[in-house]
Amino acid sequence: MKLQLALDELPLDEALALAETLRQYIDIIEIGTPFVIAEGMKAVRVFHERFPEKEILSDEKIMDGGYFESKLAFDAGANYVTALGVTDILTVKACLRAAEEAGRHLVIDMICVEDLPGRIQELEAAGVKHLAVHTGADQQAAGRQPIEDLKVMKQHARQARISVAGGINSKTIAQYVALKPDVIIVGSAITRAQVPLEEARLIKMAMQAA
């Protein structure tokens, strides 16, 4: 089980400093969608160079132009790129082709997918090996949590590794760890914590205990 740090809102220099502080506890560094919009592939390249022992995820949420946009991330040093589960299967296949050529990985973000079981089956048949449960910030504000979607994903996925994101913190981590996802994604619970290092330590400790 890996801990993925989602960096969304911090400026590049602050994000680098925070990741350095948390280095011992994180496995994957996510260049979040707002970060990608603000800094582009520069952020991917800089983190890849600064943290060579870590995996880097470029959270592009690709909806079209699958091959070209995926290749941008892989050429910059990303280990993973994300595409949206609601996109056309042809876009998914184009992303997969870029990932296979680069020897890297595509993660499908299942945010707003209504028929999770059906879409999981279709994506796995296309060759997708990484799926992400994601309850977005706007959905969280309305009271929705990712735990129920994670249960559905774990029940129906036959081969794909499962990531989960959406408001997870040190107080809620145990219920997610109990379902044994492959990757726990945490963003603001760490980045906005009064003591980010302690929040990351508590989360990682709960993961290791499982």
Q: Which amino acid is at 48?
A: H
Rounded distance between C-alpha atoms, residue 23 and residue 19, angstroms: 6
**CATH number of the CATH domain containing 188:** 3.20.20.70
What integer pLDDT is reported at residue 134 of this predicted model?
83
Rounded distance between C-alpha atoms, residue 32 and residue 37, angstroms: 9
pLDDT tens by residue, 100-152: 999 999 999 999 999 999 999 999 999 999 999 987 677 767 666 788 899 99
Compute the average pLDDT of residues 141-164. Answer: 89
Rounded distance between C-alpha atoms, residue 88 and residue 91, angstroms: 5
How many folded domains does the chain comprise? Answer: 1
Where in the sequence is the domain holding 99, given as residue range(s)? 2-209
Rounded distance between C-alpha atoms, residue 195 and residue 138, angstroms: 25
pLDDT tens by residue, 166-189: 889 999 999 999 999 999 999 999
pTM for the complete prediction?
0.95
